[in-house]
């Protein structure tokens, strides 16, 4: 049988959780419709806990409906793009669902972005309205971007008491360094107070007709690790398909209306937005929201509120592996511990199991696939694998040059098909065309990730195509070297890139951050010698640079793009 025929087999199906079908029916509903249905089921249940302040589903919907009515009255209409520049907060949820109820598309901007990055996303998306945290507004104003409507909110508006809030470590630093705009700003035309709008308008937004498969719900920007960020067009249908697919894989342990989860992952990112915020609210969970990822506060909350599941990223597990409070949490009481958004290093995973006695279930996805395509089934977790394809999802491994399907064990590019895959890139027809490939009459999303699949259908991550290093014609995976170096007890963080060299193609460079007590004790030669015997000779770094820190992306990944750009600037 040819590999082209064999790819249509799904060896992973025998590892599906009991009762989870290979194919599911995704209802064609809008996000506001599903949110309203959830409120009808769990109206008196606590939807959000924000530093002690509890907000019920009924109260949340009341504010969403008032805000939607306000946006419509201010002139926001179907198809408009509304930007959010907010930290995790009740305001983010209210603004998000309120904008969707007004028929708009939401584009959420990273709160760590500086003015030029904010300007790019607002202008590229065509947003003319922004809902912004007041202490972040100076970045918007200094960008010079043209906006018709600005709605400002203060983080304290949904807190139980300012004094209690500032007694915690969370935003003290922000409020010490930054200040809200002066009251005079609200005298300007087109600038509004979030709470004034909530109070002014009744909870009766007009009914907007939404086509779930065609209308874009959210426009997250991606591509920061490989080039200029571009908007991925995620429809209502895409996001709700992915929510259902991932929920089914967790349903053996997580139940509707029964769970409490720690929501510290940023809502502007598709992982926090789709899995935690949207997924949590449509399933009737209680979200304990954090504005910033303070490990100590997160660990305290897991115990205080008896969290039932924990969703995180590899960099946070690395922090928690070294945090004293990690031992204070009874991790075995939690039903589920998950990692996504980046590859989980084997050393991090093993250290976590030793420390807590529980395994981390790794998942995989991309912004372009609404967040998730693969997941390790509950009770059938494979160490080092990011899991198997979700229901309604087809995945395969192909040769990046020829698009030929590769057999199990061979490394190639992952390609994906499924209802969670985006429509394309916003206003980028050429890049949209390049993001997909047609093979045997079927359209697949190219992931640009190099992976392999084993005989049982479990997938393994190797590297981004861009991060593959070619040394004397041999393929070297940056992540493989990072895995080895990260296991060194004196190394705190590491990033590996290829440095152009006409003699060999690319030399392997390791940028290393040492633990504080190892500085001055571990040399470049010592690091190279450590790698010998653990890596083939051609994979051993030829250049080692020590630094105090390494650039990271918003979700804690090592930003190899920034490391490469630094080289180009020299």
Domain of 453: which CATH number? 3.40.50.12780
Does 81 share its domain with 159?
Answer: yes
Domain of 494: which CATH number? 3.30.300.30
Task: Give the residue ranges of DSSP H helices in 179-264.
Answer: 194-200, 236-250
CA distances from 222 to 268, 272, 425, 461 (A): 11, 14, 10, 19
Does 450 share its domain with 483?
Answer: no
Q: Specify if 222 maps to a domain.
A: no
Q: What is the pLDDT of residues 365-399, one digit of tens each?
A: 999 999 899 999 988 999 899 999 999 999 999 99
Half-sphere exposure for 44 (CA within 13 Å, toward CB): 0
Q: Are 232 and 219 in contact (CB under 8 A)?
A: yes
Q: Are 349 and 322 in contact (CB under 8 A)?
A: no
Q: Which domain holds residue 564?
A: 474-569
Does 20 share its domain with 166?
Answer: no
User: What average pLDDT does the segment 27-47 reach?
Assistant: 97
Q: Specify if 520 maps to a domain.
A: yes
User: What average pLDDT does the segment 266-294 reach?
Assistant: 95
Does 108 share its domain with 255?
Answer: no
Which one of 395, 428, 463 terminates a domain?
463
pLDDT value of residue 2: 40
Q: Specify if 219 maps to a domain.
A: no
Residue 353 pLDDT more than 50? yes
User: What average pLDDT does the segment 25-51 reach?
Assistant: 97
Of 145-149, 233-237, 532-536, which range is least confident?
532-536
Q: What is the pLDDT of residues 428-467, one digit of tens each?
A: 999 999 999 999 999 999 998 999 999 999 999 988 877 8
Residue 509 pLDDT more than 70? yes
Q: What is the pLDDT of residues 61-87, one digit of tens each?
A: 999 999 999 999 999 999 999 999 999
Does 272 share its domain with 393?
Answer: yes
Does 496 share its domain with 351?
Answer: no
Name residues whose C-beta falls within 8 Å of residue 87's C-beta, 6 or more positions apart in sequence. Answer: 111, 133, 155, 171, 266, 291, 292
**Cα–Cα distance measured from residue 358 to residue 225, given in angstroms and rounded to the nearest whole number:** 32
pTM across the whole model: 0.86
Does 341 share its domain with 441?
Answer: yes
Does 418 share its domain with 553?
Answer: no
What mean pLDDT value characterizes the chain? 90
Q: Which residue has the higher pLDDT, 427 or 472?
A: 427
Q: What is the pLDDT of residues 103-133, one digit of tens each?
A: 999 999 989 888 888 999 999 999 999 999 9
Residue 507 burial (C-beta neighbours within 10 Å; 0-12, 13-18, 19+): middle
**What dihedral do alpha carbons 111, 310, 233, 417 form, nearest 10°?**
150
Does 488 share its domain with 445?
Answer: no
Does 386 share its domain with 342?
Answer: yes
pLDDT value of residue 184: 81
pLDDT value of residue 244: 96
Residue 250 pLDDT more than 80? yes
Residue 209 burial (C-beta neighbours within 10 Å; 0-12, 13-18, 19+): exposed
Residue 7 banded pLDDT, cuts 50, 70, 90 = low
pLDDT value of residue 171: 52
Give one DSSP letter per residue of 2-30, joined into a string: -HHHHTT--GGGGGSPTT--SS-PPP---
Does 537 share its domain with 563?
Answer: yes
Residue 198 banded pLDDT, cuts 50, 70, 90 = very high
Indicate the number of domains in the chain. 3
pLDDT value of residue 370: 94
Does 487 share its domain with 453?
Answer: no
Q: Specify if 47 maps to a domain.
A: no
User: What average pLDDT does the segment 396-408 reach?
Assistant: 94
pLDDT value of residue 1: 34
Token couple for 140 = 């918007």
Q: Specify if 293 maps to a domain.
A: yes
Residue 470 pLDDT more than 70? yes
Which one of 209, 224, 248 terminates a domain?
209
Q: What is the pLDDT of residues 297-311, one digit of tens each?
A: 999 999 999 999 999
**Cα–Cα distance measured from residue 140 to residue 136, given in angstroms and rounded to the nearest whole number:** 7
**Cα–Cα distance measured from residue 447 to residue 182, given in angstroms and rounded to the nearest whole number:** 46
Q: Specify if 223 maps to a domain.
A: no
Which one of 411, 428, 463 terminates a domain?
463
Q: Specify if 41 maps to a domain.
A: no
Q: Specify if 94 maps to a domain.
A: yes
Domain of 97: which CATH number? 3.40.50.980
């Amino acid at each position: 049988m040819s590999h082209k025929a064999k790819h249509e087999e799904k060896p992973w199906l025998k590892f599906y959780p009991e009762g989870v079908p290979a194919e599911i029916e995704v209802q064609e509903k809008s996000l506001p419709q599903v949110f309203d249905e959830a409120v009808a089921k769990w109206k008196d249940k606590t939807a959000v806990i924000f530093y002690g302040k509890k907000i019920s589903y009924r109260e949340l919907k009341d504010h969403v409906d008032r805000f939607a009515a306000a946006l419509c009255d201010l002139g926001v209409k179907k198809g408009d793009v509304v930007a959010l520049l907010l930290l995790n907060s009740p305001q983010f949820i209210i603004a998000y669902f309120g904008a969707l109820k007004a028929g708009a598309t939401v584009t959420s901007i990273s709160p760590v972005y500086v003015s030029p990055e904010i300007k790019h996303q607002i202008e590229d998306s065509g947003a003319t309205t922004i809902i912004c945290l007041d202490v972040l507004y100076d970045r918007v104003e200094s960008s010079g971007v043209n906006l018709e409507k600005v709605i400002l909110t203060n983080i304290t508006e949904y807190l139980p008491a300012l004094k209690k809030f500032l007694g915690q470590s969370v935003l003290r630093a922000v409020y010490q360094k930054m200040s809200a705009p002066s009251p005079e700003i609200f005298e300007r035309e087109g600038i509004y107070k979030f709470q004034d709008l909530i109070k002014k308008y009744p909870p009766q937004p007009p009914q907007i007709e939404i086509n779930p498969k065609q209308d874009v719900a959210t426009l997250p920007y991606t591509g920061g690790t490989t080039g200029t960020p571009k908007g991925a067009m995620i429809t209502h249908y895409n996001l709700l398909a992915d929510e259902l697919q991932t929920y089914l894989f967790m349903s053996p342990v997580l139940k509707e209306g029964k769970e409490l989860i720690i929501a510290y992952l940023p809502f502007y990112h598709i992982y926090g937005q789709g899995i935690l915020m949207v997924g949590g609210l449509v399933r009737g969970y209680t979200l304990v929201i954090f504005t910033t990822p303070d490990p100590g506060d997160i660990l305290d909350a897991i115990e205080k509120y008896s969290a039932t599941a924990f969703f995180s990223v590899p960099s946070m597990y690395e922090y928690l592996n070294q945090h004293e409070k990690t031992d204070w949490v009874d991790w075995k009481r939690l039903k589920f511990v998950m990692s996504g958004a980046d590859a989980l290093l084997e050393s991090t995973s093993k250290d976590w199991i030793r420390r807590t006695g529980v395994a981390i279930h790794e998942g995989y996805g991309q912004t372009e696939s609404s967040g998730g395509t693969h997941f390790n089934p509950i009770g059938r977790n494979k160490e080092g694998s990011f899991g198997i394809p979700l229901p309604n999802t087809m995945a395969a491994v192909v040769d990046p040059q020829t698009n030929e399907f590769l057999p199990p064990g061979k490394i190639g590019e992952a390609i994906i098909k499924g209802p969670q895959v985006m429509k394309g890139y916003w206003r980028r027809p050429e890049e949209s065309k390049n993001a997909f490939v047609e093979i045997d009459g079927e359209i697949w999303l190219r992931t640009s990730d190099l992976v392999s699949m084993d005989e049982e259908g479990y997938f393994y991550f190797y590297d981004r195509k861009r991060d593959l290093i070619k040394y004397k014609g041999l393929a070297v995976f940056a992540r493989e070297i990072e895995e080895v170096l990260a296991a060194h007890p004196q190394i705190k963080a590491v990033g590996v890139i290829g440095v152009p060299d006409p003699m060999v193609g690319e030399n392997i460079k390791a940028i290393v951050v040492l633990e504080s007590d190892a500085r001055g004790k571990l040399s470049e030669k010592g690091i190279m010698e450590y790698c010998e015997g653990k890596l083939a000779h051609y994979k051993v770094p030829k250049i080692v640079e020590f630094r105090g820190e390494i650039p990271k992306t918003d979700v804690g990944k090592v930003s190899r793009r920034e490391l490469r750009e630094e080289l180009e600037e020299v």
